């Protein structure tokens, strides 16, 4: 009899805000710029006055990331700051002046824009794609030359605490439809697929109503699975295409984005609004008002959680992203970065402490590994600094989905060991 475990869909009973309430402008924001190794330059200096939506930093290249201020105010500090992984990245700190003076994109002729103009406008708006929802590995849209043939809108987070990703769309139906049309114009003649959880009947009905008006659109209701948030497995499930190890979706003509990126694209093209705020799901039993909130990019995590009713005496751990693939942060003064879709405030009774017991050779990690790897062997090699042996065992194929650590009865920190090995090899 097999030992494969099933991670069940879970929703907090106190999910009081399924819409998207806006947070008030923070007194200070920290705009983290670029990823580790990016060539990113700031275009402001200390003492400069900036408007809400003004560019403060830009990375080089045709698809270089653009970063804009989420508040109006004064630049008070330039330097570096540790990101969620502890790596130093460029940072622009801005203090709010309360004027809320704004700068918008030029979209006077958006209706007649061609694909190249739409692409540049979305890039300039600061839109990013970060499918893990933790801000790590964020990027701009693929270049037009990459030949995107299928766009998948992933409305299936597929992890505990996050079943209601599509709930805010009920307030933005027209914007969502506009965003879909923009994507069709951008990557024509690409096909559009919207994947929605079959358990969300209202969302399925709402999006299917848009299907009739877009010939390129197909709506697919998918059964809940913890792997639905992984691009590779979503593409395999919906399109029957199996990506090779290390192969990016764009290499096979696929683009996978979240529904919130679609909304951001609509805001940029139709209203000229740069991407300076994003919908973030705040969940966990250490807050009293969990739900979806519109958060200005760069707001400190602690300030965001306080707005959702943080109970400091209960708080045991903060995770940026989702439970299985998120990143635990040691400080709550770190900012909400571009691409963050969720923050979890765990209380002690929701946690377990990895005690790193010896592997009992039960095989559960292997049975649940979607790549068919032997996580216990990779973890053991990493624990003894045998990086080459870990690589030979398939380290590079690991997607860090977190299933192995979740099912391990010995509570071994398998994902952390994999990440350590990858860092040492790189």
DSSP-derived letter for residue 38 is -
Residue 123 and residue 67: Cα distance in Å, rounded? 10
Cα 234 from Cα 78, distance rounded (Å)? 40
Q: What is the pLDDT of residue 4?
A: 46
What was the pLDDT predicted at 299? 98
Number of C-beta neighbours around residue 426 at 10 A:
5
CATH topology for the 110-271 domain: Rossmann fold (3.40.50)
Return phi, psi of residue 60, to 5°.
-75, 160
pLDDT at 166: 64
User: What one-character-per-residue DSSP string does 279-342 give?
Assistant: EEEEESTTBSS-EEEEEETT-BHHHHHHHTTB-TTTEEEEEES-TTT-EEES-SSSB--TTB-E
| pLDDT tens across the length of the chain (426 residues) | 344 444 444 444 444 455 568 899 999 999 998 765 567 889 999 999 999 999 999 998 888 899 999 999 999 999 999 888 888 889 999 999 999 999 999 887 777 899 999 999 999 999 988 756 655 667 889 999 999 999 999 888 766 666 556 666 777 888 888 999 999 999 999 999 998 877 777 777 777 777 667 878 888 888 877 778 788 889 999 999 998 877 889 999 999 998 889 999 999 999 999 999 998 989 888 999 988 899 999 999 999 999 999 999 999 999 998 888 888 998 999 999 998 989 999 998 877 666 778 899 999 999 999 889 999 999 999 999 999 999 999 999 998 888 999 899 998 999 999 999 998 997
Non-local CB neighbours of 245 within 8 Å, separated by 6+ positions: 371, 396, 397
Q: Are strands 291-296 and 277-283 parallel, antiparallel or unpaired?
A: antiparallel
- Within the chain, which residue ranges are assigned CATH 3.40.50.11540? 110-271
Q: What is the pLDDT of residue 11?
A: 43
Task: Tell me phi and psi for residue 275, to 5 degrees.
Answer: -85, 90
- pLDDT on residue 136: 62
Q: What is the pLDDT of residue 227?
A: 79
């Amino acid at each position: 009899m097999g030992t494969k475990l099933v991670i069940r869909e879970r929703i907090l009973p106190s999910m009081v805000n399924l819409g998207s309430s806006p947070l008030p402008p923070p007194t200070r924001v920290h705009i983290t710029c670029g990823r580790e190794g990016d060539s990113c330059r700031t275009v402001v200096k200390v003492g400069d006055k900036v408007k809400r939506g003004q560019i403060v930093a830009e990375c080089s290249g045709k698809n270089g990331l653009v970063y804009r201020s989420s508040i109006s105010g004064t630049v008070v500090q330039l330097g570096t700051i540790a990101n969620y992984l502890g790596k130093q990245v460029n940072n622009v700190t801005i203090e709010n002046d309360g004027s809320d003076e704004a700068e918008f994109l030029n979209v006077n002729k958006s209706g007649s824009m061609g694909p190249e103009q739409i692409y540049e406008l979305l890039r300039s708006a600061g839109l990013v794609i970060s499918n893990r929802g933790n801000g790590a590995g964020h990027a701009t849209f693929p270049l037009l030359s990459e030949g995107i043939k299928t766009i998948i809108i992933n409305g299936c987070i597929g992890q505990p605490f996050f079943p209601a990703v599509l709930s805010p769309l009920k307030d933005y139906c027209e914007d969502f439809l506009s965003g879909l049309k923009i994507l069709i114009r951008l990557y024509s003649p690409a096909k559009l697929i919207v994947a929605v959880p079959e358990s969300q009947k209202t969302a399925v009905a709402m999006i299917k109503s848009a299907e009739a008006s877009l010939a390129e659109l197909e709506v697919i209701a998918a059964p809940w699975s913890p792997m639905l948030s992984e691009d590779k497995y979503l593409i395999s499930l919906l399109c029957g295409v199996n990506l090779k190890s290390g192969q990016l979706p764009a290499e096979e003509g696929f683009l996978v984005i979240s529904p919130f990126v679609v909304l951001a694209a609509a805001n940029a093209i139709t209203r000229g609004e740069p991407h300076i705020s994003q919908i973030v799901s705040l969940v966990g039993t250490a807050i009293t008002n969990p739900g979806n909130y519109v958060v200005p990019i760069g707001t400190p995590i602690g300030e965001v959680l306080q707005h959702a009713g943080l109970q400091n005496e209960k708080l045991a751990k903060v995770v940026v992203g989702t439970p299985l693939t998120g990143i635990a942060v040691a400080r709550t003064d770190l900012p909400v970065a571009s691409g963050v879709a969720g923050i979890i405030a765990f209380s002690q009774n929701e946690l377990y402490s990895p005690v790193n017991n010896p592997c009992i050779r039960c095989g559960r990690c292997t049975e649940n590994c979607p790549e068919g790897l032997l996580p216990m062997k990779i973890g053991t090699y990493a624990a003894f600094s045998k990086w080459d042996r870990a690589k030979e065992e398939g380290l590079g194929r690991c997607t860090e989905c977190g299933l192995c650590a979740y099912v391990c009865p010995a509570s071994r920190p398998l994902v952390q060991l994999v990440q350590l090995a990858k860092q040492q090899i790189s």
